[in-house]
Structure 1
Amino acid sequence: MLNELSLELKSRGANVVIGVDISTLQAKENRGYYAAILIGIALKPSYIYRLSKENNLDCFEFLQKEAAADKLAEWAADFIRLKGYKAYAQSESNLINGFYDAVTKATPLPHKKIAVLAGLGWIGKSNLLVTQEYGSALCMCSVLTNAPLPIQYRPIMRPFCGKCNVCKDICPAKVIHGMNWEEGTPRDLIVDVYHCETCLKCLVHCVWTQKYVKTHGL
């Protein structure tokens, strides 16, 4: 089923579709589901390149791709339910109904945690997911399910950020603390999300995101 679903999701714009084992997580995180499907849509290299050269905030494509990932997750959940299994899309519209804590600005199971469990990337000093292929230029959503999915078992990646502090140095709000992530590190030790301006500078100027842009000839 995952192969059929993956082909359909990619025909609808997804760049990443991965089955992930979440059975060992706490009940408050996996809500009784033992598998997840991570769906990712990459931002266009030309968009990243333009933002890196301009000083204007332009979130249009970012928000567009975030919404598109949500819609793909909701479509995938419907697809799985039609196959006779349970599924829950962790889209913004679903999470806001009791699963998003506005005080702590957190959800029980962030998409990036699922991505880390999938071995797709690591948590950067910006607190964004960083991947070797796309940098942080990946908008994600996820689906929790009890469907029997083939799981890709990959080791959790250690951060490749090293001594790089590009995201910290370029952050206008100075909310990035420059700490290398490790499993179990509290989010607030990495970044002050309460004063983040969502300017996308850390995403755009990450050296791995820039590598993704250069790989595509920009």
Structure 2
Amino acid sequence: MLGRFISFEGPDGSGKTSVLEQILPEIRKWTDKNVILTREPGGSEIAESVRHIILKPENTAMDSRTEALLYAASRRQHLAERVLPALNRGDWVITDRYVDSSIAYQGVARGIGIEEVYEMNQFATEGLMPELTLYLDVRAEVGLSRIERNRHVDEINRLDKEKLEFHQQVRQGYLQVLERFPERIVKINAENDIDTVSKECLEAILNHIRKEEETGL
């Protein structure tokens, strides 16, 4: 595998999409490699169909384990159809969400268990994890207020409609993931203004690459 694989994570309202839109042109200036931006759930035709099922606001009867399995299935299709071919070509793949989201949302907030969700996704991904993850940290109250403020332009999905306590648990889940994988994850304070957050994310990516080049990894 020759390409680079980087993920962006964060609770709802953390601003991942806005940050990615801002820094992607800068990343493309920095490398001569093809840089692909994708997202989960989704990122390919079949995976996007699964996304629609998962996030459809009317699907309130969905069982928690069904939800976790659908995320893993969408992720597998996304990898097979888009991510792995790109990495094997030497492209850079930057994804908005990956396995850490499932651990935080289903493993912790839904109460399924971190190990259970982690192992399910190890099967789905054959152990493929990003070399770097940027975690945009934001308190649930702040994230939800952003969603409410921008609801006329944002996609309001089934998870956005969960109660505050659920989103607080999601953040706690992410903090547990950060504790487990400190060598891979960089925490960014996403409550800062968009320009500051974008600058810190870009610096984290470039510093990671420079460090690898210096050590010969």
Q: Taking structure 2 as the reference length, what is the TM-score of the superposition?
A: 0.31
Q: Taking structure 1 as the reference length, what is the TM-score of the superposition?
A: 0.31
RCO higher in 1 or 2 (8 Å CA, sep ≥ 6)? 2
